[in-house]
Amino acid sequence: MFLPQEFIRKKRDRQPLDRDEIAAFVRGVVDGSVTEGQVSAFAMAVYFNDLSVDECVAITLAQRDSGQVLDWSAQQLNGPVVDKHSTGGVGDLTSLLLGPMIAACGAYVPMISGRGLGHTGGTLDKLNSIPGYNVTPGTDEFQRVVRDVGVAIIGQTEQLAPADKRVYAIRDITATVESVAMITASILSKKLAAGLGGLVMDVKVGSGAFMPTPEKSLELARSIVDVGNGAGMKTTALLTDMNQSLAPCAGNALEVACAIDYLTGKSRPDRLHEVTMALAAQMLVSSGIAADDTQARVRLQAVLDSGAAVERFAKMVAALGGPVDLIDAPARYLTKAQIRIPVVAPVAGRVERIDCRALGMAVVGLGGGRVRAEDSIDYAVGLSELVPLGQRVDVGQPLGFVHAGSAGKAAHAAAMVQHAYTLSETGQATPPTIYRIVQ
């Protein structure tokens, strides 16, 4: 007979857990025979004593199997099923670019994304700024769009990894969110439930990253790669910089407009392009579509230049209920804020440091993110034309622009952005955009 308290005691006392008892515990989480107090006690024991790779693989697979696991065999796809996941950041709209680009190269991308969390923007919130776009289609419709278009970006359904949903809600209120092992199991159980053959993970480093230090970011990347591969899914990770906004804008409709500009070739900001191409190339290589990084980049550039990638984006939007002419007339559909004001540099100098988290919180303060889960979002607000690290500015020159719904909120956000920028005469070396690949 399985006793949850004995299971918790073993982890508390640093004794190894076997696969069967881990599976029994996760089943109890779903059917309610394991109480909220027992889940929180286990999470705290893991926080202090960690999980071995084998234990983390076992809990990941058990959480995957706690609900529906998508099977793509009946769809008769003629390419690999792959995805990318990010730990989140500011101005990080790579999902909107990668999915269509990878689909145009011959893979299939069933991307199950999340809403904004804390200072980080959420891919679902960006897509919700497109009128009519359905982020919660049924499973049959989701699989049909992936089969027909090659990519669909939606939200997590109630059927996928329900054990993780309950465990995460309890971790969120018991100060155990930061456990690397539990973060790993949470991310990978949902990705495995989507039926993926391969995953590329984007782990952020810096002032706007979810993980507090570069060492913790590397620890998470290694954990995800080890456990993902241990669970039978080809997994690699990139450590990328989040010491400044990835795109020069942050905010939902603003980022969708930036994504359309990127895919059409109207504007491809350097750092956004570098990270997008690195992640996409890794997806093509790890899924076997390209032999190496060089070949992958040639193929990716070709689908951008030919318009094949933006065509996939347009088809995905239309297939999920959005406007059929979004690419041709984005200004007709993407809402604009009533107020747009510059954030002026108080002194002259070179941008030495940016508190990227503060930029994200400025967007939240404008109404572009949530303070509470039930908060509604103003999709029009945000920041644009943000000056990057290393650039010189004169007194009174804009550091960026605030898009707001009221003068009061605009002034408050402008003060936050101004405070987030540190200017000096000399400046400092700009950090690399991509730190390393973990395989």
Catalytic residues: 83-86, 123, 171, 186, 190-191
Q: Residue 235's CB: how many other CB atoms inside 10 A?
A: 25
CA distance 74 to 96: 27
Q: How many CB atoms lie within 10 A of CB 130?
A: 22
If we measure between CA atoms, which residue out of 431, 344, 356 comes closest to residue 393? 344
CA atoms within 13 A on the CB side of 410: 18
Residue appearing with tokens 């540190």? 422
Strands 234-241 and 198-205: parallel
Residue 328 has phi, psi (to 5 degrees) of: -75, -30
Per DSSP, the three-state class of 388 is coil
CB 110 within 8 A of CB 194: yes
Residue 133: other Cβ atoms inside 10 A: 23
Regarding beta strands 349-354 and 392-393, do their DSSP bridges make them parallel or antiparallel, or are they unpaired? antiparallel
